[in-house]
Amino acid sequence: MKSFVEVKQGSDFPLENLPYGVFKTNKIAEPHIGVAIGDYVLDLFVLDKYAFFDDTCLKGTNAFSKPTLNYFMSLGKKVWSEARKAIQVILSEDNTTITQNEYLKKKTLISQKEVQMLLPVDIGDYTDFYSSREHATNVGLMFRGKDNALMPNWLHLPVGYHGRSSSIVISGTPITRPKGQSKSDNDEMPSFGPTKQLDFELEMGFFIGNGNNLDECIDIKKASEHIFGMVLVNDWSARDIQKWEYVPLGPFLGKNFATSISPWIVTMDALEPFKTEGPVQNPEPLPYLRTKGNPSYDINLEVSLQMEEMNEPCTITKSNFKYLYWNINQQLAHHTVNGCNTRTGDLMASGTISGETKDSFGSMLELAWKGTNPVKFPNGSERKFIHDGDKITMKAYCECGDLRIGFGEVTGKILPAT
């Protein structure tokens, strides 16, 4: 597919992608909905105003005139697909509607360098899963030993917990080192102070488009119809605080201080060519969790760390979304099987995504193996966990031949505790 907008080789945002986001500029004070195309943002707010969608099922909805994507997401899968096709037609190289109108071109195509990306969704609820077998096994080995690495329930259901949506922030937002209680194995009493074991967690998340009513469950065969798209997620973690507090109810202050997400939501239609098999599930899940075909996605993931004294970031791990044991349809089906209702804009994260080898582990906890084997860098420095001033960058993309569908990146720099 070709667009009249130049899309450089290797760009995350070709015409086959068109991820949705919300932005503003120095000249645009109010949030506008747009899609990424090459190095530009196409302003859908302006196109909506000029009736570009009157020949689609969006006519009269003003869906792109809202400050967030929630209303558009609530319209359902048929509308999402038709809107995407309409935008592809608008941007195609054969369509001269915009190219022959210099005023309209200037109003609708904005350099990504000029925009400030905002949270694209009003996020009501946030659930974090724990769905990577390799990650769960690694953590279990560190803290419980080989015989009890995986808890008895882990291979039978997608383990998860409810996070805090109020502290979800957009990529680029600085992260202040959190404080809390911690207790080492050798101390008699806990102490209070900034975390000494700040960590990243390489995750991906999906947004609910249209949810389900209370007391209704989402059948796994229809789960994909409720999922609007995906983002990159860095679910920051304070390991020492979490270790002391998590018994018996799970994570609290060690997790709820910040979760960073990438600004562009890549739709499931754009990811369709990259569907793939997931890991073999043994024992076979209960009937309500059984999936067929290719329920996962081949999405390359990588994390880099840049210290303040470094001129460029250093890649410290590469993983892949397809390693995830429990897929997103299973996560959603399990989340609602008890009648729990989900709503438009709810975010569900995968949990840390680790592969089988050390260079594919999705957290510093694993890469440095609980601080016993520090990660070494070309400048001679090393890290057991993240220091103040360190900047973490995550990237994600799918590739097949010349086609690349990317998510952009999610970044966060650590500031000292206040």
The phi, psi pair for 195, rounded to 5°, reads -60, 140
At 55-64, the pLDDT tens digits run: 999 999 999 9
Which residues is 405 bridged to in the sheet? 398
Q: Are the C-beta atoms of residues 232 and 21 closer than 8 Å to each other?
A: no
- Whether 306 shows a pLDDT value over 90: the answer reads yes
The per-residue pLDDT for range 378-400, each reduced to its tens digit, is 999 999 999 999 999 999 999 99
Per-residue confidence (pLDDT) for residue 103, from 0 to 100: 95
What confidence category does residue 1 fall into, taking pLDDT thresholds of 50, 70 and 90? Answer: confident
pTM value? Answer: 0.97
Topology (CATH) of 20-117: SH3 type barrels. (2.30.30)
80-84, 247-251, 320-324, 409-413, range with the lowest pLDDT? 247-251
135, 226, 334, 335: the active-site residue: 135
In this predicted structure, what is the pLDDT of residue 282? 96
- Is the pLDDT assigned to residue 229 strictly greater than 90? yes
**Catalytic annotation present for 135:** yes
CA distance 405 to 232: 13
| CB-count burial class (<10 Å; 0-12, 13-18, 19+) for 258 | buried
Give Cβ neighbours of residue 285 (< 8 Å, ≥ 6 apart).
156, 157, 330
pLDDT value, residue 147: 87
- Name the one residue in this structure whose structure tokens are 């967690």: 201
pLDDT band at 405 (very low <50, low <70, confident <90, very high): very high
Percent of the chain surpassing pLDDT 90? 98
Mean pLDDT of 240-256: 95
What is the rounded distance in angstroms from the CA atom of residue 77 to the CA atom of residue 181? 45
User: Has residue 164 got a pLDDT over 90?
Assistant: yes
Residue 245 to residue 248: CA distance in whole angstroms? 8
* Percentage of the residues of the chain whose pLDDT score is greater than 70: 100
C-alpha 204 chain-centroid distance = 4
Quickly name the fold that domain 126-415 has: Fumarylacetoacetate hydrolase; domain 2 (3.90.850)
Give me the residue spans of the domains in the chain: 20-117, 126-415
Chain-centroid distance, C-alpha 322: 14
Buried b (16+ CB within 10 A) or exposed e, 390-405: bbbbbbbbbeeeeebb
Over the chain, what is the mean pLDDT?
97
